Amino acid sequence: MNNSVIIIADSRKTVKNSKKSTSMCEVLFRPVIDYVFQAAEKADIGNICIVDRENLPTVGSHYDGKDTVVFLQGDKPFIDADSIKNALRMHIKDDNDMTVISDESVGYCINTASIGKTGLKKGIYVSPNENIGISADTGAELNRISEIMRRIILTEHMNNGVDIPCTDGIIIGPGCKIGCDTRILPNTIIRTDSSIGEDCVIGPNSYIENATLGNGVKFANSQIRSAKIMNNADIGPFVQIRPDAVIGDNVHLGNFVEVKNSVIDTGTKVSHLTYVGDSDVGKDVNFGCGVVTVNFTGKTKHRTVIKDGAFIGCNTNLVAPVTVGENSYTAAGSTITQDVPDNSLAIARERQTNKDGWVKKNQPYRKKI
């Protein structure tokens, strides 16, 4: 006997006052039907396919009498693998033609030879999962489902050793991995299969999407998307880490720093008010306040290379493509347009000129001087 799973999606059934179907509305950033599919995968009982309800009557023609199909409704996010497996076991053991999973609105097992026939031998498997039949037809019901799912996921993480002293505003999406003794603080959102190591402190007020964080990371009041942070980095507050960035071990990124498509190596410090884009930054580099890697000409983007041990002075503009050599300095206020050799000081600013009496002569202020 061959077993398979068919997930029924009903594109015509929508959430009230919404264009999204009840199968495609989102719970914790994922369509409801994804949860059903995930449960079917974990049940590991055969091939899985998704069929719109309009095409359901033609399904029976693709099977023979030796097949058993588990039909699952695509708008029931709390369907679980154990209920699917146990219902199928009962179906086979009792030699039923059809076995309902708690309620037909949840799902059922059926021998394909019995499809369309009457007088079937029926059974019902009553799942201990009290949420299994919940679906959302309104926004308020969807909110209720999201809150139940949020609590379930948080409880799983806490039982696995994650420290969540207060759950206020914390949303962790399905599929995220968090190591033991990591502390998650309020108003933190973690989503899209992100992975966080052990002994981290995440939050408060932080956003993590499709990112990997190593062990011992501190990440406060900051955001990261599609990027990676290595071990023991100290990030925040108000840091934006954009896609394709790699932040090395023991790196410090301070307030109002943005990093995009760049590698920042071990021990480098970027303390405040700095943009690092399309750059390769070495070890133990120090960035002064207000540094900008000028990576875009308006037509093309270029990379900046800063080698180990360099010191980038406050308000330096590094106009790419440009390289700053090992242990080199750039003077504060410089606009660097040419490569800086190793162990050198680069100064790129005009000599200061003072014009005595200029203010009294030109009276630039509202109040007369």
Which residues are known catalytic residues?
272
What is the torsion angle, in degrees rounded to the nearest 10, for the CA atoms of residue 34, residue 39, residue 44 and residue 47?
Answer: -40
Q: Which two tokens stand for residue 141?
A: 């019901």
Q: Are 86 and 125 in contact (CB under 8 A)?
A: yes
Q: For the chain, give the number of residues.
A: 369
Q: Which two tokens stand for residue 296?
A: 């875009």
Q: If we measure between CA atoms, which residue out of 80, 4, 96 comes closest to residue 42?
A: 80
Q: Which two tokens stand for residue 208?
A: 């993590």
Beta bridge pairs of residue 212: 195, 228
Angle at 60 between CA 54 and CA 65, to 5 degrees: 165
Q: Are 201 and 185 in contact (CB under 8 A)?
A: yes
Q: Are 276 and 293 in contact (CB under 8 A)?
A: yes
Cα Rg for the chain, rounded, in angstroms? 30
